Structure 1
Amino acid sequence: MTRKQIIITLFSITAFILILVSLGVFEEELKETDYSEVVQFMEDMKNKEEVEIDVVTYYSGKASLENSVLKQPNGWIIYRLKARYDKVTNQSWIDVTPDLSRFKNVEKISGDLITSHQQCGYINHNTDENKGKVGYMLTECFHKWEYDVKPSGFEGYRINYTVLPILGLK
């Protein structure tokens, strides 16, 4: 192979890889699972077991239909929930650790999202059909009293939540 052919081949391979990267081929696939994992997490916590799950949230960033709207926060936030139990005090709590590495415009996040490590008292089922809210809620949290966890697919929500098993995402 001549030098020219090697350069053309390397350029072609690089261009192909850049196209695949822009299409998101190499990104981790975040698959939606059913909420039985959250229910199991809640049951295990009631039984004073130390367990953990990942809760994946997608923030669409659509605040308006206008094109002139400034860039809004968007992307995936992965919350690692770890149920903890202290035998001496007979107390349990949830450690919540967010991963914002897949999130854009982090500086514009509202107070409705957990953006730093904190502890919450528990997670419970939240059903308020009058307000169109169905899902789960982290309550008695350090920075805010409660955070909603809404299921994916509900129209009208800017934040869509799905639940994943622990995938070792870092």
Structure 2
Amino acid sequence: MLRNQRLNPFGNLARDRALSALRQMLVISMILTALGLPGCGGDVQEKLEDYLEELEFDAPLEAVKVIQLGESHRISIAARKQAYVEGDEEPVWVQFKFKLFVEVAPENEAAILAATERHRGMINDIIVRICRNLTLEELGDSRRTSFKSRLIDALRPLLGENRIQQLILNDDSWEAI
């Protein structure tokens, strides 16, 4: 008894070993549970993206008109990792390809078509300017949220503040050149 007390003055050595083993098993089971939870798998992420894309539609598809802005856009970009960084960072030359559409209410279709014809040059300049300021991080965003946000803010004054419901990018991709 004296020997056990010298090794562990707070209690029984066998009991402490059992508690230590129990703690280890508890930690291991917590780690395995955490790894098995949703969020660690890619399947759940894909389902979330599909769900979020469905939420993007403000109106039923039957109640909107989709108008293409220009044909297919193909823009060369000297993209940097971060925006507005001066220094030795070399840009990565990429080519960004996409088709751009606006979603409008049927009663606004004629006004949007007239505005796109009237401001064709300015619309193309805006698209090129915003594309050329994209960073690699923004290009990597599969939903192109930042890009679409800047585009819609720049296009609304030309096409009508309250006429555009949303922008749609189709066949969008980028590759290094």
- Shorter-chain TM band: under 0.3
TM-score (norm 1): 0.27
- What TM-score do you get using the length of structure 2 for normalisation? 0.26
- More strand by proportion, 1 or 2? 1
Higher helix fraction (1 or 2): 2
Q: Which has the larger radius of gyration?
A: 2
Q: Which has the higher contact order (CA 8 A, sep 6+)?
A: 2
